[in-house]
Structure 1
Amino acid sequence: MVSPVTVVKCEGPKLVPFFKATCVYFVLWLPSSSPSWFSALIKCLPIFCLWVFLLAHGVNFLVSRCGAKRIFAGLIFSALGDAFLIWQEQGYFEYGLLMFAITHILYSSAFGMKPLDLKAGVVMGLISSFLYTLLYAYLSSPFTYLVGVYTALIAFMGWRAIAGVQLCNDLWTWTKLSACIGSLLFIVSDLTLAVNKFCFPVPYSRAIIMATYYAAQMLIALSAVECRDENEYKKKIKVT
Protein backbone atom coordinates (compact mmCIF):
# COMPACT_ATOMS: atom_id res chain seq x y z
CA MET A 1 0.00 0.00 0.00
CA VAL A 2 1.25 3.49 -0.85
CA SER A 3 2.29 5.46 2.22
CA PRO A 4 0.80 8.95 2.81
CA VAL A 5 4.31 10.46 2.85
CA THR A 6 5.02 9.09 -0.63
CA VAL A 7 1.69 10.44 -1.89
CA VAL A 8 2.41 13.92 -0.49
CA LYS A 9 5.86 13.98 -2.12
CA CYS A 10 4.42 13.00 -5.49
CA GLU A 11 1.11 14.88 -5.60
CA GLY A 12 1.86 17.83 -3.29
CA PRO A 13 3.78 19.97 -5.81
CA LYS A 14 0.93 19.68 -8.33
CA LEU A 15 -1.47 21.10 -5.73
CA VAL A 16 0.58 24.21 -4.94
CA PRO A 17 -1.42 26.40 -7.41
CA PHE A 18 -4.64 25.22 -5.74
CA PHE A 19 -3.40 26.19 -2.27
CA LYS A 20 -2.23 29.58 -3.54
CA ALA A 21 -5.57 30.25 -5.27
CA THR A 22 -7.44 29.26 -2.10
CA CYS A 23 -5.30 31.66 -0.07
CA VAL A 24 -6.06 34.42 -2.58
CA TYR A 25 -9.79 33.84 -2.11
CA PHE A 26 -9.60 34.05 1.68
CA VAL A 27 -7.18 37.00 1.69
CA LEU A 28 -9.24 39.10 -0.73
CA TRP A 29 -12.53 37.99 0.90
CA LEU A 30 -14.57 39.95 -1.64
CA PRO A 31 -17.97 41.03 -0.29
CA SER A 32 -20.81 38.76 -1.37
CA SER A 33 -23.18 41.74 -1.33
CA SER A 34 -21.64 43.11 -4.55
CA PRO A 35 -21.32 40.22 -7.04
CA SER A 36 -19.10 40.68 -10.08
CA TRP A 37 -17.28 38.67 -12.71
CA PHE A 38 -14.04 39.33 -10.82
CA SER A 39 -15.45 37.84 -7.61
CA ALA A 40 -16.73 34.87 -9.63
CA LEU A 41 -13.23 34.37 -11.08
CA ILE A 42 -11.58 34.50 -7.65
CA LYS A 43 -14.12 32.02 -6.23
CA CYS A 44 -13.70 29.61 -9.15
CA LEU A 45 -9.90 29.91 -9.36
CA PRO A 46 -9.13 27.05 -6.90
CA ILE A 47 -11.43 24.78 -8.92
CA PHE A 48 -9.67 25.81 -12.14
CA CYS A 49 -6.40 24.81 -10.43
CA LEU A 50 -7.87 21.36 -9.71
CA TRP A 51 -8.59 21.05 -13.45
CA VAL A 52 -4.89 21.75 -14.03
CA PHE A 53 -3.97 19.25 -11.29
CA LEU A 54 -5.79 16.44 -13.10
CA LEU A 55 -4.54 17.54 -16.52
CA ALA A 56 -0.98 17.51 -15.13
CA HIS A 57 -1.26 13.72 -14.98
CA GLY A 58 -1.65 13.68 -18.73
CA VAL A 59 -4.54 13.68 -21.17
CA ASN A 60 -4.11 9.92 -21.60
CA PHE A 61 -4.65 9.56 -17.85
CA LEU A 62 -8.05 11.24 -18.11
CA VAL A 63 -9.03 9.45 -21.30
CA SER A 64 -8.12 5.99 -20.01
CA ARG A 65 -9.80 6.28 -16.60
CA CYS A 66 -13.59 6.71 -16.53
CA GLY A 67 -13.56 7.73 -12.87
CA ALA A 68 -11.03 10.49 -13.49
CA LYS A 69 -13.01 11.78 -16.48
CA ARG A 70 -16.20 11.97 -14.44
CA ILE A 71 -14.49 13.76 -11.57
CA PHE A 72 -12.97 16.23 -14.05
CA ALA A 73 -16.44 16.81 -15.53
CA GLY A 74 -17.80 17.24 -12.00
CA LEU A 75 -15.23 19.95 -11.35
CA ILE A 76 -16.35 21.77 -14.50
CA PHE A 77 -19.99 21.77 -13.32
CA SER A 78 -18.81 22.81 -9.85
CA ALA A 79 -17.15 25.91 -11.30
CA LEU A 80 -20.39 26.75 -13.12
CA GLY A 81 -22.29 26.26 -9.87
CA ASP A 82 -19.87 28.54 -8.03
CA ALA A 83 -20.38 31.25 -10.64
CA PHE A 84 -24.18 31.02 -10.43
CA LEU A 85 -24.10 31.20 -6.62
CA ILE A 86 -22.21 34.49 -6.82
CA TRP A 87 -25.50 35.92 -8.12
CA GLN A 88 -27.79 33.81 -5.94
CA GLU A 89 -29.60 36.86 -4.56
CA GLN A 90 -30.36 37.90 -8.15
CA GLY A 91 -32.31 34.68 -8.77
CA TYR A 92 -29.56 32.28 -9.88
CA PHE A 93 -29.50 30.05 -6.80
CA GLU A 94 -31.59 27.35 -8.49
CA TYR A 95 -29.13 27.22 -11.41
CA GLY A 96 -26.26 26.77 -8.98
CA LEU A 97 -28.20 24.00 -7.26
CA LEU A 98 -28.70 22.27 -10.61
CA MET A 99 -24.98 22.48 -11.48
CA PHE A 100 -23.98 20.93 -8.16
CA ALA A 101 -26.68 18.26 -8.48
CA ILE A 102 -25.07 17.21 -11.78
CA THR A 103 -21.68 17.30 -10.02
CA HIS A 104 -22.89 14.84 -7.37
CA ILE A 105 -24.27 12.51 -10.05
CA LEU A 106 -20.89 12.54 -11.82
CA TYR A 107 -18.97 11.96 -8.59
CA SER A 108 -21.29 9.10 -7.60
CA SER A 109 -20.73 7.53 -11.00
CA ALA A 110 -16.96 7.93 -10.58
CA PHE A 111 -17.02 6.21 -7.18
CA GLY A 112 -18.96 3.28 -8.65
CA MET A 113 -21.44 0.78 -7.21
CA LYS A 114 -18.96 -1.81 -5.94
CA PRO A 115 -18.82 -2.75 -3.13
CA LEU A 116 -22.51 -2.10 -2.53
CA ASP A 117 -22.44 -1.86 1.30
CA LEU A 118 -26.18 -1.57 1.95
CA LYS A 119 -25.60 -0.83 5.64
CA ALA A 120 -23.77 2.40 4.77
CA GLY A 121 -26.57 3.25 2.33
CA VAL A 122 -29.25 2.77 5.00
CA VAL A 123 -27.30 4.90 7.50
CA MET A 124 -26.80 7.69 4.96
CA GLY A 125 -30.48 7.48 3.99
CA LEU A 126 -31.59 7.84 7.61
CA ILE A 127 -29.22 10.72 8.31
CA SER A 128 -30.19 12.60 5.14
CA SER A 129 -33.91 12.04 5.84
CA PHE A 130 -33.48 13.41 9.36
CA LEU A 131 -31.61 16.49 8.11
CA TYR A 132 -34.18 17.13 5.38
CA THR A 133 -36.96 16.85 7.97
CA LEU A 134 -35.27 19.59 10.00
CA LEU A 135 -34.96 21.81 6.91
CA TYR A 136 -38.47 21.07 5.63
CA ALA A 137 -40.24 23.43 8.07
CA TYR A 138 -38.23 26.35 6.69
CA LEU A 139 -38.66 25.55 2.99
CA SER A 140 -41.26 26.86 0.59
CA SER A 141 -42.08 25.89 -2.98
CA PRO A 142 -40.12 25.22 -5.18
CA PHE A 143 -37.29 24.66 -2.69
CA THR A 144 -39.32 22.04 -0.84
CA TYR A 145 -38.79 19.73 -3.79
CA LEU A 146 -35.46 21.02 -5.08
CA VAL A 147 -33.71 20.70 -1.72
CA GLY A 148 -35.27 17.26 -1.24
CA VAL A 149 -33.89 15.98 -4.55
CA TYR A 150 -30.53 17.63 -3.92
CA THR A 151 -30.31 16.07 -0.44
CA ALA A 152 -30.97 12.64 -1.92
CA LEU A 153 -28.26 13.11 -4.56
CA ILE A 154 -25.55 14.28 -2.17
CA ALA A 155 -26.47 11.53 0.31
CA PHE A 156 -26.15 8.98 -2.51
CA MET A 157 -22.73 10.37 -3.38
CA GLY A 158 -21.69 10.13 0.26
CA TRP A 159 -22.88 6.51 0.39
CA ARG A 160 -20.89 5.52 -2.68
CA ALA A 161 -17.75 7.20 -1.32
CA ILE A 162 -18.11 5.63 2.13
CA ALA A 163 -18.82 2.20 0.64
CA GLY A 164 -15.42 2.20 -1.07
CA VAL A 165 -13.58 2.39 2.26
CA GLN A 166 -13.48 -1.12 3.69
CA LEU A 167 -11.42 -0.53 6.80
CA CYS A 168 -12.54 -3.75 8.49
CA ASN A 169 -11.38 -5.87 5.55
CA ASP A 170 -8.16 -3.85 5.12
CA LEU A 171 -9.04 -3.32 1.46
CA TRP A 172 -8.98 0.46 1.54
CA THR A 173 -6.62 2.66 -0.45
CA TRP A 174 -5.65 6.29 0.12
CA THR A 175 -7.70 7.29 -2.93
CA LYS A 176 -10.85 5.67 -1.52
CA LEU A 177 -10.27 7.29 1.87
CA SER A 178 -9.71 10.64 0.16
CA ALA A 179 -13.04 10.31 -1.69
CA CYS A 180 -14.81 9.40 1.54
CA ILE A 181 -13.49 12.33 3.57
CA GLY A 182 -14.03 14.71 0.64
CA SER A 183 -17.65 13.66 0.24
CA LEU A 184 -18.36 14.07 3.95
CA LEU A 185 -16.82 17.56 3.91
CA PHE A 186 -18.99 18.41 0.88
CA ILE A 187 -22.05 17.41 2.89
CA VAL A 188 -20.93 19.59 5.82
CA SER A 189 -20.41 22.52 3.44
CA ASP A 190 -23.81 22.19 1.78
CA LEU A 191 -25.61 21.58 5.08
CA THR A 192 -24.09 24.76 6.51
CA LEU A 193 -25.13 26.67 3.39
CA ALA A 194 -28.71 25.32 3.59
CA VAL A 195 -29.12 26.10 7.31
CA ASN A 196 -27.69 29.59 6.84
CA LYS A 197 -29.87 30.36 3.81
CA PHE A 198 -33.17 28.77 4.81
CA CYS A 199 -33.18 28.44 8.61
CA PHE A 200 -31.09 30.88 10.64
CA PRO A 201 -27.76 32.70 10.39
CA VAL A 202 -24.76 30.48 11.13
CA PRO A 203 -21.77 32.28 12.70
CA TYR A 204 -18.82 32.43 10.29
CA SER A 205 -20.97 30.55 7.78
CA ARG A 206 -19.11 31.71 4.68
CA ALA A 207 -15.73 30.68 6.10
CA ILE A 208 -17.07 27.27 7.13
CA ILE A 209 -18.82 26.72 3.79
CA MET A 210 -15.85 27.65 1.63
CA ALA A 211 -13.13 26.00 3.74
CA THR A 212 -14.95 22.66 3.80
CA TYR A 213 -15.94 23.04 0.13
CA TYR A 214 -12.42 23.64 -1.16
CA ALA A 215 -11.02 20.84 1.03
CA ALA A 216 -13.74 18.51 -0.26
CA GLN A 217 -13.04 19.28 -3.90
CA MET A 218 -9.30 18.83 -3.42
CA LEU A 219 -9.74 15.43 -1.76
CA ILE A 220 -12.20 14.25 -4.41
CA ALA A 221 -9.79 15.38 -7.15
CA LEU A 222 -7.01 13.45 -5.38
CA SER A 223 -9.20 10.35 -5.33
CA ALA A 224 -9.10 10.35 -9.15
CA VAL A 225 -5.38 9.53 -9.04
CA GLU A 226 -5.60 5.77 -8.89
CA CYS A 227 -1.85 5.03 -8.75
CA ARG A 228 -1.53 2.42 -6.00
CA ASP A 229 1.94 1.09 -6.59
CA GLU A 230 4.69 2.39 -4.28
CA ASN A 231 7.42 1.85 -6.88
CA GLU A 232 5.46 3.86 -9.47
CA TYR A 233 5.27 6.80 -7.09
CA LYS A 234 8.98 6.56 -6.27
CA LYS A 235 9.79 6.65 -9.98
CA LYS A 236 7.65 9.78 -10.40
CA ILE A 237 9.37 11.47 -7.47
CA LYS A 238 12.83 10.74 -8.95
CA VAL A 239 11.77 12.14 -12.32
CA THR A 240 10.50 15.39 -10.78
Structure 2
Amino acid sequence: MSITRIPGDPPLEVTLRRSARARRYSLRVSQLDGRVTLTLPQRAPEADGLAFVREKEAWIRRHLSARPEDQVVRAGGSVPYEGRALPLVPGTGRAPRLQDGALAVPGPASEVPARVQAFLKTRARARLAAAADGYTAALGLSYRRLTLRDARSRWGSCSSRGDLMFAWRLIMAPPKVLDYVAAHEVAHLVEMNHSPAFWAVVARLMPGYEAPRAWLRANGAALHRVRFGD
Protein backbone atom coordinates (compact mmCIF):
# COMPACT_ATOMS: atom_id res chain seq x y z
CA MET A 1 0.00 0.00 0.00
CA SER A 2 1.06 3.58 -0.59
CA ILE A 3 -0.37 7.02 0.11
CA THR A 4 -0.69 9.84 -2.39
CA ARG A 5 -1.92 13.42 -1.99
CA ILE A 6 -4.40 15.07 -4.33
CA PRO A 7 -4.03 18.88 -4.34
CA GLY A 8 -7.02 20.90 -3.18
CA ASP A 9 -8.48 22.75 -0.21
CA PRO A 10 -7.83 20.79 1.83
CA PRO A 11 -5.57 18.27 0.05
CA LEU A 12 -6.87 14.69 -0.06
CA GLU A 13 -4.78 11.80 1.22
CA VAL A 14 -5.61 8.61 -0.68
CA THR A 15 -4.34 5.15 0.24
CA LEU A 16 -3.62 3.03 -2.84
CA ARG A 17 -4.21 -0.68 -2.36
CA ARG A 18 -3.72 -3.38 -4.97
CA SER A 19 -5.82 -6.54 -4.98
CA ALA A 20 -5.48 -9.66 -7.08
CA ARG A 21 -9.25 -10.10 -6.87
CA ALA A 22 -10.14 -6.58 -8.01
CA ARG A 23 -11.46 -6.28 -11.56
CA ARG A 24 -12.05 -2.54 -11.52
CA TYR A 25 -11.14 0.57 -9.57
CA SER A 26 -13.13 1.12 -6.38
CA LEU A 27 -13.16 3.93 -3.83
CA ARG A 28 -14.09 3.76 -0.16
CA VAL A 29 -14.40 6.55 2.39
CA SER A 30 -14.25 5.15 5.93
CA GLN A 31 -16.84 6.53 8.30
CA LEU A 32 -14.56 5.55 11.18
CA ASP A 33 -11.58 7.76 10.44
CA GLY A 34 -12.25 9.42 7.08
CA ARG A 35 -9.57 7.37 5.33
CA VAL A 36 -9.94 7.35 1.54
CA THR A 37 -8.86 4.08 -0.08
CA LEU A 38 -8.53 3.34 -3.79
CA THR A 39 -8.38 -0.36 -4.64
CA LEU A 40 -6.71 -1.15 -7.96
CA PRO A 41 -6.48 -4.38 -9.97
CA GLN A 42 -3.07 -5.99 -9.60
CA ARG A 43 -1.64 -4.81 -12.95
CA ALA A 44 -3.63 -1.60 -13.46
CA PRO A 45 -1.51 1.51 -14.15
CA GLU A 46 -1.31 3.75 -11.09
CA ALA A 47 -1.71 6.83 -13.27
CA ASP A 48 -5.10 5.57 -14.45
CA GLY A 49 -6.12 4.99 -10.84
CA LEU A 50 -5.19 8.54 -9.88
CA ALA A 51 -7.15 9.84 -12.85
CA PHE A 52 -10.14 7.88 -11.53
CA VAL A 53 -9.69 9.53 -8.11
CA ARG A 54 -9.66 12.98 -9.69
CA GLU A 55 -12.88 12.17 -11.56
CA LYS A 56 -14.49 11.22 -8.25
CA GLU A 57 -13.01 14.08 -6.21
CA ALA A 58 -16.35 15.87 -5.74
CA TRP A 59 -17.94 12.58 -4.57
CA ILE A 60 -15.09 12.01 -2.09
CA ARG A 61 -15.36 15.51 -0.65
CA ARG A 62 -19.14 15.20 -0.24
CA HIS A 63 -18.69 12.01 1.77
CA LEU A 64 -15.96 13.56 3.91
CA SER A 65 -18.03 16.66 4.62
CA ALA A 66 -21.01 14.51 5.64
CA ARG A 67 -18.90 12.54 8.11
CA PRO A 68 -19.30 13.61 11.76
CA GLU A 69 -16.34 15.52 13.17
CA ASP A 70 -13.70 13.76 15.23
CA GLN A 71 -13.51 14.41 18.96
CA VAL A 72 -9.95 15.46 19.76
CA VAL A 73 -8.91 14.83 23.36
CA ARG A 74 -7.27 17.92 24.85
CA ALA A 75 -6.54 19.44 28.24
CA GLY A 76 -9.69 21.06 29.56
CA GLY A 77 -11.94 18.96 27.34
CA SER A 78 -13.50 15.58 27.99
CA VAL A 79 -13.25 11.94 26.95
CA PRO A 80 -15.90 9.21 26.75
CA TYR A 81 -15.51 6.81 29.67
CA GLU A 82 -17.94 4.02 30.54
CA GLY A 83 -20.70 5.69 28.55
CA ARG A 84 -20.37 9.26 29.80
CA ALA A 85 -18.31 12.33 29.05
CA LEU A 86 -15.51 12.49 31.61
CA PRO A 87 -14.14 16.03 32.12
CA LEU A 88 -10.36 16.41 32.03
CA VAL A 89 -8.94 18.63 34.77
CA PRO A 90 -5.39 19.43 35.92
CA GLY A 91 -3.99 16.90 38.38
CA THR A 92 -0.96 16.15 40.51
CA GLY A 93 1.15 13.08 41.01
CA ARG A 94 2.48 10.67 38.41
CA ALA A 95 -0.64 9.27 36.73
CA PRO A 96 -4.22 10.30 35.93
CA ARG A 97 -6.83 9.43 38.53
CA LEU A 98 -10.59 9.67 38.87
CA GLN A 99 -11.52 12.51 41.19
CA ASP A 100 -14.91 14.09 41.91
CA GLY A 101 -16.51 12.94 38.67
CA ALA A 102 -13.57 14.03 36.52
CA LEU A 103 -10.21 12.68 35.40
CA ALA A 104 -7.34 14.60 36.99
CA VAL A 105 -4.40 14.47 34.59
CA PRO A 106 -0.93 15.62 35.75
CA GLY A 107 1.71 17.16 33.52
CA PRO A 108 1.76 19.77 30.78
CA ALA A 109 -1.14 20.16 28.36
CA SER A 110 0.91 18.64 25.53
CA GLU A 111 1.09 15.33 27.41
CA VAL A 112 -2.60 15.12 28.34
CA PRO A 113 -3.78 13.17 25.25
CA ALA A 114 -1.15 10.43 25.64
CA ARG A 115 -1.74 10.15 29.40
CA VAL A 116 -5.50 9.90 28.97
CA GLN A 117 -5.06 7.21 26.34
CA ALA A 118 -2.74 5.25 28.63
CA PHE A 119 -5.29 5.55 31.45
CA LEU A 120 -8.07 4.21 29.21
CA LYS A 121 -5.97 1.27 28.05
CA THR A 122 -5.09 0.34 31.62
CA ARG A 123 -8.74 0.49 32.69
CA ALA A 124 -9.83 -1.43 29.61
CA ARG A 125 -7.42 -4.28 30.32
CA ALA A 126 -8.55 -4.56 33.94
CA ARG A 127 -12.27 -4.48 33.07
CA LEU A 128 -12.01 -6.87 30.13
CA ALA A 129 -9.85 -9.33 32.07
CA ALA A 130 -12.34 -9.31 34.94
CA ALA A 131 -15.26 -9.85 32.57
CA ALA A 132 -13.50 -12.62 30.64
CA ASP A 133 -12.42 -14.33 33.87
CA GLY A 134 -15.98 -14.26 35.18
CA TYR A 135 -17.54 -15.61 32.00
CA THR A 136 -14.98 -18.38 31.51
CA ALA A 137 -15.41 -19.42 35.15
CA ALA A 138 -19.17 -19.65 34.58
CA LEU A 139 -18.51 -22.06 31.71
CA GLY A 140 -15.80 -24.01 33.52
CA LEU A 141 -13.28 -23.01 30.86
CA SER A 142 -10.18 -20.85 30.56
CA TYR A 143 -8.55 -18.77 27.87
CA ARG A 144 -4.88 -18.74 26.92
CA ARG A 145 -4.14 -15.01 26.84
CA LEU A 146 -5.83 -11.64 26.44
CA THR A 147 -4.52 -8.82 24.24
CA LEU A 148 -5.76 -5.32 23.46
CA ARG A 149 -5.64 -3.56 20.10
CA ASP A 150 -7.03 -0.45 18.50
CA ALA A 151 -8.95 -2.61 16.06
CA ARG A 152 -10.95 -0.85 13.35
CA SER A 153 -12.93 -3.76 11.92
CA ARG A 154 -13.93 -5.76 15.00
CA TRP A 155 -14.46 -5.25 18.71
CA GLY A 156 -13.09 -8.61 19.73
CA SER A 157 -11.98 -12.01 18.53
CA CYS A 158 -11.31 -15.50 19.84
CA SER A 159 -8.80 -17.81 18.19
CA SER A 160 -9.01 -21.59 18.01
CA ARG A 161 -6.12 -21.67 20.50
CA GLY A 162 -8.14 -19.76 23.08
CA ASP A 163 -6.56 -16.34 22.61
CA LEU A 164 -8.90 -13.41 23.24
CA MET A 165 -8.42 -10.01 21.60
CA PHE A 166 -10.44 -6.90 22.45
CA ALA A 167 -10.52 -3.32 21.26
CA TRP A 168 -9.44 -1.10 24.15
CA ARG A 169 -11.91 1.61 23.04
CA LEU A 170 -14.66 -0.51 24.60
CA ILE A 171 -13.85 1.23 27.90
CA MET A 172 -15.47 4.34 26.40
CA ALA A 173 -18.80 2.53 25.97
CA PRO A 174 -21.37 1.83 28.71
CA PRO A 175 -20.18 -1.02 30.96
CA LYS A 176 -22.81 -3.46 29.70
CA VAL A 177 -21.50 -3.01 26.15
CA LEU A 178 -17.99 -4.01 27.23
CA ASP A 179 -19.48 -6.96 29.14
CA TYR A 180 -21.43 -8.04 26.05
CA VAL A 181 -18.34 -8.12 23.85
CA ALA A 182 -16.47 -10.11 26.50
CA ALA A 183 -19.36 -12.59 26.72
CA HIS A 184 -19.52 -12.81 22.93
CA GLU A 185 -15.85 -13.73 22.58
CA VAL A 186 -15.83 -16.12 25.54
CA ALA A 187 -18.84 -17.90 24.00
CA HIS A 188 -16.60 -18.66 21.02
CA LEU A 189 -14.56 -20.90 23.30
CA VAL A 190 -17.60 -23.19 23.15
CA GLU A 191 -18.90 -22.49 19.64
CA MET A 192 -16.48 -21.14 17.01
CA ASN A 193 -19.34 -19.88 14.85
CA HIS A 194 -22.47 -17.73 15.05
CA SER A 195 -24.98 -20.55 15.10
CA PRO A 196 -28.11 -20.63 17.30
CA ALA A 197 -26.06 -22.73 19.73
CA PHE A 198 -23.50 -19.93 19.96
CA TRP A 199 -26.12 -17.27 20.69
CA ALA A 200 -27.63 -19.55 23.32
CA VAL A 201 -24.26 -19.52 25.12
CA VAL A 202 -24.13 -15.72 24.89
CA ALA A 203 -27.66 -15.49 26.32
CA ARG A 204 -26.70 -17.80 29.17
CA LEU A 205 -23.68 -15.67 30.02
CA MET A 206 -25.48 -12.35 29.58
CA PRO A 207 -29.28 -12.37 29.51
CA GLY A 208 -30.56 -9.33 27.62
CA TYR A 209 -27.41 -9.00 25.51
CA GLU A 210 -29.50 -7.66 22.61
CA ALA A 211 -29.63 -4.10 24.00
CA PRO A 212 -25.86 -3.56 24.40
CA ARG A 213 -25.31 -5.25 21.04
CA ALA A 214 -27.69 -2.76 19.42
CA TRP A 215 -25.95 0.14 21.19
CA LEU A 216 -22.61 -0.90 19.77
CA ARG A 217 -23.99 -1.16 16.26
CA ALA A 218 -25.56 2.29 16.51
CA ASN A 219 -22.77 4.11 18.35
CA GLY A 220 -19.56 2.15 17.86
CA ALA A 221 -18.30 4.33 15.01
CA ALA A 222 -18.31 7.36 17.32
CA LEU A 223 -15.79 5.64 19.61
CA HIS A 224 -13.38 5.38 16.68
CA ARG A 225 -13.71 9.11 16.04
CA VAL A 226 -12.11 9.95 19.39
CA ARG A 227 -8.54 11.05 18.63
CA PHE A 228 -5.70 11.58 21.03
CA GLY A 229 -3.85 14.60 19.69
CA ASP A 230 -4.09 16.64 16.51
Could you say which structure has the higher helix fraction? 1
Q: TM-score, normalised by structure 2?
A: 0.28
Could you say which structure has the higher strand fraction? 2
**Larger of the two Rg values belongs to structure:** 2
Report 1 or 2 for greater relative contact order, CA contacts < 8 Å, sequence distance ≥ 6: 1
Q: TM-score, normalised by structure 1?
A: 0.27
